Amino acid sequence: MIVMKIYTTSQEVLLAACDENILGKEFREGNIHIYVDPNFYGDMRVSDEVFLNSMKIATIANLVGEYVVNLAIRGGFINPECVIRIAGVPHAQMARMW
């Protein structure tokens, strides 16, 4: 299951999404650290379709987890060569320029 939260400003739509099973966990590898903060990633559990439709309107995305990152790759939103792994967990960001 995907967990996500959308933040909007006057000019940006930020989508934070992660795999539900890593919500609240912390990952470290060398100097890189990520905490999958429930306050940031939210608690809205969504279907693949809702996530992909949200990616279409997002100007910025912060994605963590095997399932959500692979779905964003299959949807054409993320280049697989731009995904980093932190302790084996995929992390990707997207910024759309209009």
Closest CA to 17 of 51, 50, 57: 51
What does pLDDT average to over the chain? 96
Which amino acid is residue 17, in one-letter code?
Answer: A
Least confident of 21-25, 26-30, 76-80, 94-98: 94-98
Cβ proximity of 68 and 15 under 8 Å: no
Does the pLDDT value for residue 64 go beyond 70?
Answer: yes
pLDDT greater than 90 at residue 85: yes
Half-sphere exposure of 94 (CA within 13 A, CB side): 28
Is 7 in contact with 61 (CB distance < 8 Å)? no
Is the confidence at residue 10, as pLDDT, over 90? no
- What does the pLDDT look like over 18-27, one tens digit per residue? 999 999 999 9
| Amino acid at site 88 | G
At 98 the pLDDT is: 67
* CATH number among 3.40.50.1240, 3.30.1330.200, 3.30.70.3270, 3.30.1860.10, domain 2-95: 3.30.1860.10
- Is the pLDDT assigned to residue 1 strictly greater than 70? yes
Q: Is residue 51 over pLDDT 90?
A: yes
Q: Where are the domains of the chain?
A: 2-95
